[in-house]
Amino acid sequence: MIKVEKRLETPKYLLVLTPILSVLVAILFSSILLLVTGEDAIKALDTIFGGSLINWQEVLVNSITLVILSIGVAVAFKMVIWNIGAAGQMMIGMICAAGVALFVPIALKDSIFLIPLMALAAVIGGGLWALISGGAKAIWNVNEVITSLLLNYVALYLLQFLVFGPWKGVTTSGFPQSDPFPAAAKIATIFPTGRLHYGLFVAIAVVIIFYFLLNKSRWGYEIRVIGEGRNVARYGGMSLAKNIIVAMFVSGGLAGLAGAIHVSALEGRLSPHMNTDIGYTAIIVVWLSRLHPLVIGVVSVFMGALLFAETNLPAAGIPYEIAKLLQGSILFFVIAGDFFSRYKVKFVKE
């Protein structure tokens, strides 16, 4: 007979082992699905992981955006506020950064302050966008899952409205995109070849700063306490509404920052190309990392490889959707696998 017992404390090795095993099971599951549907599973895995090693710069380029988004998501999730609108907040960040780059006064066009200004606008824009959900949650207890997700669609159509309409460039020969940004608005690449850019250091800084903020500061402590129980926090004299508003602003602000880095370093203009599922990917990263900022940094590189694979797989003749499927199954197996870190399964002889 099988008996299930709740663990009083989870051993450290299980906290590490279960996510890793879950990812392996997800990879196995996806490979079987590939085989069943007549695709070459070995070739797919080789393209995803081998291809990522060769194109490590592209993987890191994807990871930069992802890690900043994920830290933002983690800030909200720590408080058990479900911000699933990271993609929308990122798009608003892209729009705000582009707005600064395109319409800044001539005097600032070549200034070294242009990129910081774009970043600032993006942080404020993304933060305020997230506050639509966060404020409604704090004041009226409106379900933030739905509002933050639906705002993704509003942000997407706002982006398309701008690049097909008022912000459409005069030099773009009819393509739906803005004019290119001035040169001072572009984040430089680190190496002469490849697209890896100095945003990498921003991402690393974000990880370190938020490691200290979340794990070592008074603010991080309040967030954790609120996340563990609203009533305890209230008895402790912490303002729930204030903390929700701050956390959502920070969460959205980071997503906005990711958007600014994306348009500045990779696009150099505002264009409608956007992976609208990236908010989901960030959630998977955060859950795999158990909300720990440093682990998020590492897991983002792994998921960055999957994001890169989405663009790389079609060239190998394999549908890119397998990378999306793999992401979805990873999250499922991770939460299923968590059972074994929370419960002890015993086989008892009757």
The yes or no reply on residue 28 touching other proteins (CB under 8 A) is no
The yes or no reply on residue 339 touching other proteins (CB under 8 A) is yes
Task: Give the one residue of 11, 46, 113, 157 binding other proteins; rule: CB under 8 A.
Answer: 157
Residues 43-62 that bind other proteins (CB under 8 A): none
Task: Give the one residue of 7, 216, 242, 342 binding other proteins; rule: CB under 8 A.
Answer: 342
Cβ of residue 218: shortest distance to other proteins, in angstroms?
27
Angle between helices 293-312 and 321-342 (to 10 degrees): 150
Considering the complex, state which of residue 66 and residue 200 has its C-beta at the smaller distance from other proteins.
Answer: 66
Short-list 320, 258, 269, CA closest to 88: 258
Residue 303 in tokens: 């998921």
What DSSP string describes 266-320?
A: IISS--S---TTHHHHHHHHHHHTTT-HHHHHHHHHHHHHHHHHHHHGGGGTS-T
The yes or no reply on residue 124 touching other proteins (CB under 8 A) is no
Task: Give the one residue of 14, 33, 225, 298 binding other proteins; rule: CB under 8 A.
Answer: 33
The yes or no reply on residue 176 touching other proteins (CB under 8 A) is no
Cβ of residue 104: shortest distance to other proteins, in angstroms?
25
The yes or no reply on residue 15 touching other proteins (CB under 8 A) is no
Task: Give the one residue of 153, 201, 212, 235 binding other proteins; rule: CB under 8 A.
Answer: 153
Tell me the C-alpha to C-alpha distance, in Å, between residue 33 and each of 12, 44, 91.
33, 12, 33
* Size (the chain), residues: 350
Task: Give the one residue of 35, 110, 141, 209 binding other proteins; rule: CB under 8 A.
Answer: 141
The yes or no reply on residue 83 touching other proteins (CB under 8 A) is no
Burial of 201 (0-12, 13-18, 19+ CB in 10 A): exposed
Name the residue with tokens 């989405």: 310
Cβ of residue 132: shortest distance to other proteins, in angstroms?
8
Please name the residue ranges forming H helices in 79-172. 86-103, 114-140, 144-164
Residue 71, C-beta contacts closer than 8 angstroms, at least 6 positions apart: 206, 207, 210, 254, 293, 296
Residues that bind other proteins (CB under 8 A): 6, 33, 37, 82, 84, 132, 136, 140-143, 145-147, 149-154, 157-158, 160-161, 164-165, 277, 280, 283-284, 287, 319, 321-322, 324-329, 331-332, 335-336, 338-339, 342-343
